[in-house]
């Protein structure tokens, strides 16, 4: 009888133990990404994200990775598809789909965005459709001495059932991972 309860307790605790192990692994991994500053502020259903990182590359090299929309799934792990729908001068319409995981939970996302490109300086992004009620983001590039500083700011109103307070660490983690993967791709291309 005791063995039955031990197995049952273990079975009930397994998801929690896996989630804790995943979070510990993510925390150890985060040490490598500590120089990527991410701040998430959630108030009245609006999620504001700010990120700040430096990439040892020229603004052109960084720009080429950020605007390589059709190849994003090759180097950003949570994007499964990305395609350019149209281009009109410096305005690009992009459709993307992806999936993000947090512990045992996973969330799918899709979006169609309009991006206004100011080469080597700024990308402005506005959601046209997708699973957010509203989204606007700006990515700025400041180059100096062979290093490009990337400053990102976005405001979004998600269309989700997940309590936003639980989503804060997910958003921080995913944002940090996103920019880490972009930086790694810039450095990979630079070495070629």
pLDDT of residue 6: 46
Order across the sheet with 105-118: list the strands: 37-43, 46-55, 147-158, 132-144, 122-130, 105-118, 91-102, 79-88
Give the pLDDT score at 134.
94
80 and 21 inside one domain: no
Asked if 97 and 159 sit in the same domain, the reply is yes
Same-domain status, 87 and 53: yes
Which of 109 and 182 is assigned the larger pLDDT? 182
CA angle 20, 21, 22 (to 5 degrees): 90
Do 54 and 74 have their domain in common? Answer: yes
- Check whether residue 17 and residue 82 sit in a common domain: no
Provide the sign of the torsion angle of the four alpha carbons 180, 166, 100, 50, taken in this order: negative
Q: What is the mean pLDDT of the chain?
A: 84
Contact 68, 84 (CB under 8 A): no
The predicted-structure confidence for 29-68, as pLDDT tens digits, reads as follows 444 467 999 999 988 889 999 999 999 999 999 999 999 9
Predicted pLDDT at 158: 83
The answer to whether residues 141 and 89 belong to one domain is: yes
Q: Determine the pLDDT at residue 107.
A: 74
**Whether residue 53 sits in one domain with residue 22:** no
Q: Is pLDDT of 161 > 60?
A: no
Q: How many residues does the chain have?
A: 192
63-109: pLDDT as tens digits = 999 999 999 999 999 999 999 999 999 999 999 999 877 666 677 88
State how many domains the chain has: 2
Least confident range of 16-25, 30-39, 137-146, 149-158? 16-25
Q: Which domain holds residue 22?
A: 1-34
DSSP, res 44: T
pTM for this structure? 0.80
Same domain, 162 and 136: yes
8 A C-beta contact, residue 90 and residue 71: no
């Amino acid at each position: 009888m005791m063995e039955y309860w031990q197995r049952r307790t273990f079975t009930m605790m397994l998801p929690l133990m896996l989630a804790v192990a995943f979070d510990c692994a993510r925390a150890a991994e985060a040490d490598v990404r500590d120089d990527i500053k991410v701040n998430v502020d959630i108030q009245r259903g609006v999620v504001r994200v700010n990120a700040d990182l430096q990439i040892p590359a020229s603004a052109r090299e960084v720009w080429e990775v950020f605007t390589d929309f059709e190849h994003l799934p090759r180097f950003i792990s949570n994007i499964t598809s990305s395609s350019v729908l149209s281009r009109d001068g410096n305005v690009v319409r992009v459709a993307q789909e992806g999936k993000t995981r947090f512990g045992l939970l996973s969330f799918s996302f899709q979006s169609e965005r309009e991006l206004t490109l100011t080469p080597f300086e700024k990308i402005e992004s506005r959601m046209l459709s997708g699973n957010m009620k509203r989204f606007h983001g700006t990515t700025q590039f400041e180059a100096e001495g062979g290093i490009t500083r990337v400053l990102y700011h976005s405001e979004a109103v998600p269309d989700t059932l997940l309590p936003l307070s639980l989503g804060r660490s997910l958003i921080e983690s995913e944002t940090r991972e996103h920019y880490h993967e972009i930086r790694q791709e810039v450095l990979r291309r630079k070495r070629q």
